[in-house]
Amino acid sequence: MGRLEWSETFHDPEWTEDDIDAALDYQHEQNLICDGCGHPVDESHDDEHRVAWITERVTCWACASAERTRQQDNKAGKQAPHGTKYATRNRAKD
């Protein structure tokens, strides 16, 4: 008495058929996007639409601030340890 006489272990599969289908759909959608500009390949690579595209220069001021700090550190001879990230915050929201 008190001994385990029967045990059964059930494992759910890590990936269900729905998970696999969703992953394959996502991969297919990603393959349809240009890895350079992020626009759909069927539009951005079509010669008929070549004159439809315009490019504007934009500046991310948060990235610009981090880049300035990185450059100042380099000029000052400060060698940041590998893995150093430069976190930016919006002072207007403080």
User: Mind listing the pLDDT tens digit for each residue in 17-67?
Assistant: 999 999 999 999 999 999 999 999 999 999 999 999 999 999 999 999 999
> Please, which residues have CB within 8 angstroms of residue 85's CB and are 6 or more apart in sequence?
none
Q: What distance in Å separates the CA atoms of residue 72 and residue 48, rounded to the nearest whole number?
A: 46
| 32 assigned to some structural domain | yes
Work out the average pLDDT over 70-89.
84
Q: Which domain holds residue 45?
A: 23-52
- 42: in domain: yes
User: Does residue 44 form part of some domain?
Assistant: yes
**What percentage of residues in the chain have a pLDDT greater than 70?**
99
For residues 25 and 31, give the distance between their C-alpha atoms in angstroms, rounded to a whole number.
Answer: 10
**Domain-embedded: residue 66:** no
Domain total for the chain?
A: 1
Classify residue 13: in a domain, yes or no.
no
DSSP count for the chain of H helices, then E strands: 3, 0
Residue 31 within any structural domain of the chain: yes
- pLDDT band of residue 1 (cuts 50, 70, 90) is low
Domain membership flag for residue 48: yes
Query: What's 33's DSSP letter?
Result: B
> Which pLDDT belongs to residue 64?
94
Which pLDDT does position 6 carry in this prediction? 85
